[in-house]
Structure 1
Amino acid sequence: MDLRELLEGVKDNNLDIEDALLKLKNLPYEDLGYANIDHHREIRNGYPEVIYCEGKSDEHILGIIEKMNEKGSNILGTRCRKETFDKVKEVYNHAEYEALSKILKIQNHDIVNVGKGKVLVVTGGTSDMSVADEAYYTCKFLGNEVDKIYDVGVAGIHRLLNRIPALQEARVIIAVAGMEGALPSVLGGLVDVPVIAVPTSVGYGANFGGLSALLTMLNSCASGISVVNIDNGFGAGYLAAMINKLK
């Protein structure tokens, strides 16, 4: 039950004041001992809390999902182990899993398309796909039309130049690249929309686990580029969704 439903229930005499007070007690956040679930985040930020599964036990993840599910929230989990998903699936048979990106999804109500245009996810190579898919499914889950163009890096730049019409149709572009991380700079010089750069940890030793790509993107000479952390596809997808719903 969300805040609007609760208020309407009291107004229509379908919910007495004592029951309403009890529900309000846990509405802002709910203390589970190991986690404080922020049930008001969707009211404040427009999107519900997302579960970062890495480092959490299966029991804790299931406990968080249970409480969010009681509120009727759509549930998104990132960096979710397949073994964890299998346990979730036993309880919530409508749960879905994207294996490459390790995204867990539970859709309890229709996802409304709140985006004002198309978000495009572009990668330098196929090795960047897991991070790119995390951005893709995050942005799509948050109510956006999202498309992909993969493996069009600067080593064969003609592949990217052949896709200029598709690039120019996008309202926001997410550029995912490892190695030297030059892709966002090239894209920034071709389009008139925001480019969100995502450095990946793909590369040989001197790549320093993605640090070289991160520094390249931070030092881009092209304008209109923002940069998220290494391998942070979720952060890029979330930011793109926020930009895309602006009027």
Structure 2
Amino acid sequence: MRKTFEDLEFSKVDIGREQRTGHPEVIFGQGKTVEHVVRIFATLVEAHGRAMVTRATRDMAEAVRASYAQARYDAVSGLITCGVRGKFDGKALVLSAGTSDIPIAEEAVGTADWLGCHVEKRYDVGVAGIDRLLAYRDQIAEASVVIVVAGMEGALASVVGGMTRRPVIAVPTSIGYGAHFQGLTPLLGMLTSCAAGVSVVNIDNGFGAGYNASTILQLMTEAKRS
């Protein structure tokens, strides 16, 4: 029987996940020790030739790079990545409503890129200055999937959803004033969007949005090439 996980005692690393789902397990760094991250990372690299950590610290990155000099750390997104895969057909476009949303948007960008997407990004195109968004109508129309990252009231997702025939993945962020409730207000606004074709991930979950976008493009690519 083929082994599907490696038992490290503190973690059972799911080395069979890529065969089941199309993508390998990704390490959620928050709450883990540096030693735990390094050992899980090494196990995934051995199994797949690549690995990624989300919500990583600089200490984690330095420890990983001590063994894998090719690993990259992006302090804005909090991602550690190592290894590459071939690119899918199509393109993911990541939009952020404001500059304050960029860290979550960059998590989506880095995730989608590492998982095989061609990614473009346009930041600070929120609805308070609608001309900034409308300047990119052509890019929105050309994208295969659009990720919209927005705090405050989260209105950008509905507007974009009404501009394109492509899937829109909305990411509410914890950026906003008091009644914003740390992201709950845009989350509920996005969930009740009147625009069809908008799906929603959890608050500040740029990783989930990037992962979903890559799954869409992977399916599209497999269908075109079959």
**TM-score tier (shorter):** over 0.9
Residue 200 in structure 1 maps to residue 173 in structure 2? yes
Instruction: Work out whether residues 158 and 193 of structure 2, in 8 Å CA contact, stay in contact via their aligned partners in 1.
Output: yes
Partner of 1:6: none
- Of the three residues 84, 87, 93, the one matched with 1:113 is 87
Partner Cα distance (2:62, 2:133) in 1: 38
Structure 1 counterpart of 2:6, one-letter code: E
Structure 1 counterpart of 2:98, one-letter code: G
User: Residue 205 of structure 1: CA displacement?
Assistant: 1.0
User: Residue 196 of structure 1: CA displacement?
Assistant: 0.2
Partner of 1:45: 21
Residue 158 in structure 1 maps to residue 134 in structure 2? no
User: Residue 72 of structure 1: CA displacement?
Assistant: 3.9
Partner Cα distance (2:210, 2:45) in 1: 23
Residue 145 in structure 1 maps to residue 121 in structure 2? no
Residue 93 in structure 1 maps to residue 66 in structure 2? no
Alignment of 1:5-16 (within 5 A): none
CA RMSD in angstroms comes to 1.0
Partner of 1:8: none
Instruction: Work out whether residues 131 and 200 of structure 1, in 8 Å CA contact, stay in contact via their aligned partners in 2.
Output: yes
| Bigger shift: residues 80-89 or 182-191 | 80-89
Instruction: Work out whether residues 119 and 173 of structure 1, in 8 Å CA contact, stay in contact via their aligned partners in 2.
Output: yes
Question: TM-score, structure 1 length as denominator?
Answer: 0.87
Structure 2 counterpart of 1:187, one-letter code: V
Partner of 1:126: 99
Aligned length: 220
Instruction: Work out whether residues 48 and 73 of structure 1, in 8 Å CA contact, stay in contact via their aligned partners in 2.
Output: no
Partner of 1:182: 155
Partner of 1:10: none
Instruction: Work out whether residues 41 and 52 of structure 2, in 8 Å CA contact, stay in contact via their aligned partners in 1.
Output: no
Alignment of 1:47-62 (within 5 A): 47-62=23-38
Structure 2 counterpart of 1:136, one-letter code: V
Percent identity (aligned): 49
Residue 230 in structure 1 maps to residue 175 in structure 2? no
Q: Give ranges in structure 1 of 5+ residues lacking alignment.
A: 1-20
Instruction: Work out whether residues 27 and 54 of structure 2, in 8 Å CA contact, stay in contact via their aligned partners in 1.
Output: yes
Between Structure 1 and Structure 2, whose CA radius of gyration is higher? Answer: 1
